[in-house]
Structure 1
Amino acid sequence: MSTMRDAEDGDELLARLGSLTAQARELAEVQRSRVELAIALQRGMLPRDLPVARGFRLAVRYAPAYHGLNVGGDWYDVFTLPDGHIGLSIGDVQGHNIEAAAFMGQVRVGLRALASVTSEPGELLSRTNDLLLSLGTDLFATCTFMRLDPATGVLESARAGHIPHIWATADGRSGIADGEGGPPLGIVAGVDFPVTRSRLTTGGVFVLVTDGVVEGPSLSVDEGLDQVVRLAGIAAVAGLEAGALASAVMKVAERVGHEDDAAVLVVGHDGVETP
């Protein structure tokens, strides 16, 4: 009897293990499908081509985080505005799942759509903020939006809780933008976002990044930004093209010590200065 009971217990244990294994495989397949869908959403929502402006060079680098179930919502965008100016945005949605990836698409599309109504950076972020709040989601996003005038090199920018951009000039100066920003998009209604103005001179560069590039367990945000400042300063003095600088900045992301989305957007001016 004991032998028969042992055999029955063993069969029951094997059956339970088989059932648990099947459930684990099913769950893994569902999660893998969710990750693949989120990656497809990310790729489909990012711009395929960048605008061309005489005397200016644009470059982007993007590394989505899709290790395990860690799928983020970073984005970049560059597009021509109705008045001939160039709009540039970069941002990061809170969270690392398919909802974050989908919300990223809503933010990017919202910015583009509203930019056809007003491209003034502060007003644009304010309207986008109110639009996102009307959607009733619990998610929020940090963002920087810039408007470049190719005729003068003037850049107007506004920030919503995002990391400040980095600048460098051909005469060896470089630093982190110190303009005031507002809160992230999607948290508080009726917010005003201050606008700062600067000028991109011949040989100069502006670098916009998401926090996955400069911050993590192995690198503080201040250390990461300092590294980007040094790279931008070297690139501007040496006359490196925008793509080479973008690639060098993306290398910083490999040293932050975590797996997160990372986006880099570089604007360089290599044309003849307009008086």
Structure 2
Amino acid sequence: MSRKPSTDDGDELLARLGTLTAQARERAELQRSLVELAVALQRGMLPGDLPVAPGFHLAVQYSPAFHGLNVGGDWYDAFRMLDGCIGLSIGDVQGHNIEAAAFMGQVRVGLRALASVTSEPGELLSRTNELLLSLGTDLFATCTFMRLDPSTGVLESARAGHIPCVWATADGKSGIAEDEGGPPLGIQEGQDYPVTRYRLSTGGVFVLLTDGVVEGPLLNVDEGLDQVVRLAGIAAVAGMDAGSLAAAVIKGAERVGHEDDAAVLVVGHDAPDVRR
């Protein structure tokens, strides 16, 4: 004959369920606080102002897209260097947590600090790679660093495992930047990063971005890059300003179905104003 559950058994079960529910709520609140802290770290470490140079315009768009309790470590940066050139960097830290967000800040600050020692993009990435390895962390980062000389329009680029940039000219040409690149930062010692030179012609644009803009469940990276190439080409021919192009590129990122950060940095060489 089965024993009928007592009222005491039911009370004990309810008490246990209440305890488990309270513990789950506390864990959820803790994770939510960590996400909010990571997002605050991201926003606090990104530059508030962009450098200004006659004939050139910089524009950025950044979407710290996070899914559930994860948050990424994408960044962008632009700053005036000691030689008068403008340093441009964009990158992505491996991982989606508060450690990734904090490491992102270390990479960005490290690049700025070492740019006072050398402004040559390849050497700068090599030194940053050694710096990150000295920190003893398991994290690594992909990055593109460019040096823009406003007096000539020359862009010197070095890439560490990052997706390539996109370019377009006012005469209707556009494409994906072809540079050799090297491995991500923070993986292996003694790495070299080849430098590729480009010239930003009048009315032309360069678009630096992170993979969250062009890659996701609904779109592979090649299709995503082709999408940005088309947008950049249209923008250059139409004389669209850098800010409008950056906004269009980040809007297009919605099509990839990503759960990652998305960052866009556009460099535009102003076309002459022919209006009277």
Partner of 1:27: 27
* TM-superposition CA deviations, 1:84-138 (whole Å, max 9, x none): 1000000000000000000000000000000010010000000000000000000
Q: Is residue 2:136 matched to residue 1:136? A: yes
Q: 1:229 & 1:57 partners in 2: Cα distance?
A: 19
Give the whole-Å Cα distance in 2 for the aligned partners of 1:61 and 1:207: 11
TM-score (norm 1): 0.97
Give the counterpart letter for 1:259 in structure 2: E
Q: Secondary structure at the match of 2:40?
A: helix
Gaps of 5+ in 1: none
**Which amino acid letter does the alignment assign opposite residue 249 of structure 2?**
V
Q: Is the 8 A contact 1:210 1:263 kept in 2?
A: yes
| Unaligned segments of structure 2, at least 5 residues | none
Matched, 1:15 2:24: no
- Verify the 8 A CA contact 1:217 1:257 in the aligned structure 2: yes
The root-mean-square deviation of aligned C-alpha atoms, in Å, is 1.1
Shift of 1:271: 5.0
Q: TM-score if structure 2 supplies the norm length?
A: 0.96
User: Equivalent residue for 2:175?
Assistant: 175
Question: Which residue pairs with 1:158 in the alignment?
Answer: 158
Match for residue 263 of structure 2? 263
CA distance in 2 between partners of 1:181 and 1:79 (Å): 22
SS of structure 2 residue aligned to 1:254: helix
Partner SS, residue 101 of structure 1: helix
1:227-266 to 2 correspondences below 5 Å: 227-266=227-266
Q: Offset at 1:192?
A: 0.5
Q: Quote the Cα distance in structure 1 between the aligned partners of 2:130 and 2:88.
A: 20
Residues 194-239 of structure 1: per-residue CA shift (max 9 Å, x gap): 0000100100000011000000110000000000000000000000
CA distance in 1, matches of 2:97, 2:47: 21
**2:187 alignment partner in structure 1:** 187
Aligned counterpart, 2:65: 65
* Equivalent residue number for residue 97 of structure 1: 97
- Aligned partner letter, 2:265: L
Q: Which residue of 2 aligns with 1:50?
A: 50
Amino acid at match of 1:233: G
CA deviation after TM superposition for structure 1 residue 147, in Å: 0.1
> Could you tell me which amino acid in structure 1 is paired with residue 101 of structure 2?
A
Counterpart-to-counterpart distance in 2, 1:38 and 1:112:
21
Deviations 1:125-172 (A, max 9, x none): 000000000000000000000000000000000000000000000000
Identical aligned residues as a percent: 83
Partners in 2 of 1:214 and 1:175 — Cα distance?
15
| Count, aligned residues | 271
Distance in 1 between residues matched to 2:139 and 2:94, nearest whole Å: 6
Displaced runs of 4+ in structure 1, greater than 4 A?
none
Per-residue deviation at 1:243?
A: 0.5
- The DSSP-based 3-state class of the residue aligned with 2:255 is coil
